[in-house]
Amino acid sequence: MKKLGLIVLCGAIMVTGVFAGGGKQQDSAAGGSTPATVYIPLISKGFQHQFWQAVKQGADQAAKELGIQITFEGPESESQVDKQIEMLQTALGKKPAAIGIAALDSQAVIPLLRQAQSSNIPVIAFDSGVESDIPLTTVSTNNIVAAGVAADKMAEAIGGSGKVAVLVHDQTSRTGIDRRDGFLNRIKEKYPNIEVLEVQYGGGDHLRSTEIAKAVINGNPDLKGYFGSNEGSAIGVVNAVSELGLQGQIVVIGYDSGKLQIDAIRSGLMYGAIQQNPVKMGYETVQWAYKATKGEKPSKIVDSGYVWADQNNLDSAEVKAVIYE
Per-residue pLDDT tens digits for 162-220: 999 999 999 999 999 999 999 999 999 999 999 999 999 999 999 999 999 999 999 99
Q: For 312-321, what is the mean pLDDT?
A: 93
pLDDT for residue 250: 98
Half-sphere exposure of 296 (CA within 13 A, CB side): 10
- 238 to each of 3, 92, 232, 273, how far by Cα in Å? 22, 39, 10, 12
pLDDT for residue 323: 85
Listed in order, strand segments (DSSP E) in 194-319 are: 194-196, 200-201, 223-228, 251-255, 272-276, 301-303, 306-310
Q: Give the separation between CA 178 and CA 148, rounded to whole angstroms.
A: 10
Least confident segment among 20-29, 50-59, 261-270: 20-29
pLDDT at residue 121 tops 80:
yes
pLDDT for residue 5: 39
Q: For 253-277, what is the mean pLDDT?
A: 94
Q: Give the separation between CA 71 and CA 91, rounded to whole angstroms.
A: 9
Q: What is the overall mean pLDDT for the chain?
A: 89
Half-sphere exposure of 187 (CA within 13 A, CB side): 28
Q: Give the separation between CA 267 and CA 82, rounded to whole angstroms.
A: 39
pLDDT in tens, 72-94: 999 988 889 999 999 999 999 99
Q: For 268-284, what is the mean pLDDT?
A: 96
DSSP 153: H
Question: Who's near 124: CB < 8 A, 6+ residues apart?
Answer: 98, 99, 100, 101, 135, 136, 137, 138, 139, 285, 288, 289, 292, 298
What do you get for the CA distance between the two ends of the chain, in Å? Answer: 10
Backbone torsions φ then ψ of 219, nearest 5 degrees:
-85, -5
Backbone torsions φ then ψ of 200, nearest 5 degrees:
-110, 155
Closest CA to 301 of 318, 286, 284: 284
Question: In which band, very low, low, confident or very high, does the pLDDT at 13 lie, cut at 50, 70 and 90?
Answer: very low
- For residue 16, the one-letter residue type is T
Given CATH 3.10.20.30, say whether it is the number of domain 24-141+277-305: no
pLDDT for residue 4: 40
Domain-wise residue ranges, the chain: 24-141+277-305, 143-276
pLDDT for residue 17: 33
CATH number of 143-276: 3.40.50.2300
pLDDT for residue 27: 52
Q: Give the separation between CA 227 and CA 60, rounded to whole angstroms.
A: 32
Least confident segment among 44-58, 101-115, 245-259, 273-287: 44-58
Least confident segment among 23-27, 135-139, 298-302, 319-323: 23-27
Least confident segment among 26-35, 71-80, 122-131, 238-247: 26-35
pLDDT in tens, 23-56: 445 554 443 334 447 999 999 998 877 899 999 9
Same fold, 24-141+277-305 and 143-276: yes
Q: For 296-310, what is the mean pLDDT?
A: 95
Q: Which residues of 247-257 are buried (b: 16+ CB within 10 A; e: fewer)?
A: eeebbbbbbbb
Check: CB of residue 168 under 8 Å from CB of residue 176.
yes
pLDDT for residue 47: 81
Q: Using DSSP bridges, classify how beta strands 306-310 and 272-276 pair: parallel, antiparallel or unpaired.
A: antiparallel
Q: What is the CA radius of gyration of the chain?
A: 20
DSSP 94: T
pLDDT at residue 18 tops 70:
no
pLDDT for residue 231: 92
Q: Give the separation between CA 320 and CA 255, rounded to whole angstroms.
A: 15
Question: In degrees, to the nearest 5, what angle opens at C-alpha 60 toward C-alphas 59 and 63?
Answer: 85
